[in-house]
Amino acid sequence: MPNRSSVTRRDFVKSTAALAVAAPTIISARALGSDKIASPSNRLTLGFIGIGKQASGHLDALSGRADTEVLAVCDVHTGRRERARNTTEAKYKKLERPTNNIQEYKTYQDLLDRKDIDAVVIGVPDHWHTIIALNAAKAGKDIYCEKPLTLTIHEAKAIIDGVRKYDRVFQTGSQQRSSGPFHLAVNYIRDGKIGKIKEVWVGVGTTSKPCDLPTEETPDGIDFDQWLGQAPERGYNDILCRRASEPNEYPFNPGWRDYREFSGGYVTDWGAHHFDITQWALDMDHSGPVEVLPPKGHDGYGAQLIYRGSPVGDEILVTHKNVVYEGEGIDPKTKEKKRIRETNGIQFIGTEGKIFVNRSMILSEPDSIIEGHKELAQVEHRQNWLDCIKTRQKPICDVEIGARSVTVCHLVNLAYWHGRKLNWDPQKWEFPGDAEANEWRDRKRREKYQLPEV
């Protein structure tokens, strides 16, 4: 249990024990715990901030556990927070658990002010991640925050500093760290199965653009100004914040992702997965690239990063590419050999061979490198977070890992947006001697949505 609340609960248990000695007492099943719900001392209380498609999946998974209890849901969209409360109450009723404790909030700080909430799941759009995470850390909550972790490089450094200062357990929602094919690829590369790494090709899609959407009438039940947060003031558009409350009534890929005011496009969205695995494989989780090269063309691809000091290669060139693998492979559905052309995934190119990996496959050239491989045991990403809250250990995708991986994505985007070479110092978090580039590490925020001091 989190340090903040464990003393209070121990004191509660002691006082209950004292009363039991003094007089006979009827203790409810809820207090003792059962197979449907754990005892209070072993139960993690949760709040959910932002209830879109991704967070709805987290809510469904975490609300059904005996060792967790959802106490609050928060969203600026009235329909979504009502749906989240209603579906969770219906689940608790089916599980024969109390259903009258779930509260709704429109403002996240009201949820964070509750002392009885141990941890929060943050599923808001990218431009809101950092300010909420920092305030959650200050409020003593442990945190699961969706990727990509931040909107800017400055925010990436700030979120590390805040989580470390308040000693919080923080899991970044980069679940590929808990997925078998990527574990295998990382192990093969770290073990030198393809020799020294010379190149890495990363396929993640393109960057974002300035928002040019027309203004529409704001629907009832949506606080769009609060949804905008730090972003520049502008009118409502359904593509940015969908009117629909039910997740199956709007696209999985949110429309705001395409616009620079709110996101770095697919470079940060899928990049927070595949550049993250690249950092992991190169054993650079606590560092990063040292040079950033702009693309030579204008097709949305071709930016490059140079890594030095990796244990698996002396100088490694990482290229953002459209097509990252072409060749023979096994169809994951039919299990038959076919010609494969992949635009999403990672190819590692070494002196002794190649490895390509994405969520559905792992391939090698020559085939003998991974022949007879066995899938590694899967680690459930949310379970890892819950376990670490109890042990106070760092999760598999700790805050620094998430922050440094998204910083790699930001560096790639800066290459596209500004079109010039950059030198980067990953330890000092700066572009050495480059005043103009150092200004690009952050952006202006609306006055009432500044980052909190930590």
Residue 227 pLDDT greater than 60, yes or no:
yes
Q: What pLDDT was estimated at residue 337?
A: 80
Kindly report, residue by residue over 368-408, the tens digit of the pLDDT. Answer: 999 887 777 788 999 999 999 999 999 999 999 999 999 99
Kindly report, residue by residue over 39-56, the tens digit of the pLDDT. Answer: 777 899 999 999 999 999
36: pLDDT confidence band, cut at 50, 70 and 90?
low
Residue 221 pLDDT greater than 90, yes or no:
yes
The residues, any chain, with a CB within 8 Å of residue 179's CB and separated by 6 or more, are 359, 378
Taken in order of first residue, the domains within the chain and their CATH numbers are: 29-176 (3.40.50.720)
- Is the distance from CB of 288 to CB of 407 less than 8 angstroms? yes
Residue 34 pLDDT greater than 60, yes or no:
no
157: pLDDT confidence band, cut at 50, 70 and 90?
very high
Tokens of 98: 């109390």
Q: What pLDDT was estimated at residue 17?
A: 34
Kindly report, residue by residue over 330-348, the tens digit of the pLDDT. Answer: 766 677 888 889 999 999 9
The residues, any chain, with a CB within 8 Å of residue 212's CB and separated by 6 or more, are none
**Residues facing residue 362 across a β-bridge:** 357
**Using CA atoms, how far apart are residues 89 and 95, in angstroms rounded to an integer?**
10
Kindly report, residue by residue over 180-211, the tens digit of the pLDDT. Answer: 899 999 999 999 999 999 999 999 999 999 99
**Using CA atoms, how far apart are residues 213 and 197, in angstroms rounded to an integer?**
43
Percent over 90 (pLDDT), the chain: 82
Kindly report, residue by residue over 235-252, the tens digit of the pLDDT. Answer: 999 999 999 999 999 998
Kindly report, residue by residue over 408-432, the tens digit of the pLDDT. Answer: 999 999 999 999 999 999 999 999 9
Kindly report, residue by residue over 3-29, the tens digit of the pLDDT. Answer: 333 333 333 233 333 333 333 333 344
Kindly report, residue by residue over 298-331, the tens digit of the pLDDT. Answer: 999 999 999 999 999 999 999 999 999 998 777 6
281-317: string of b/e by CB count within 10 Å (b at 16+)? bbbbeebbbbbbbbbeeeebbbbbbebeebebbeebb
**Using CA atoms, how far apart are residues 181 and 378, in angstroms rounded to an integer?**
10
Helical ranges in 213-313 per DSSP H:
224-228, 266-269, 271-281
- pLDDT, mean over the chain: 91
Q: What pLDDT was estimated at residue 9?
A: 34
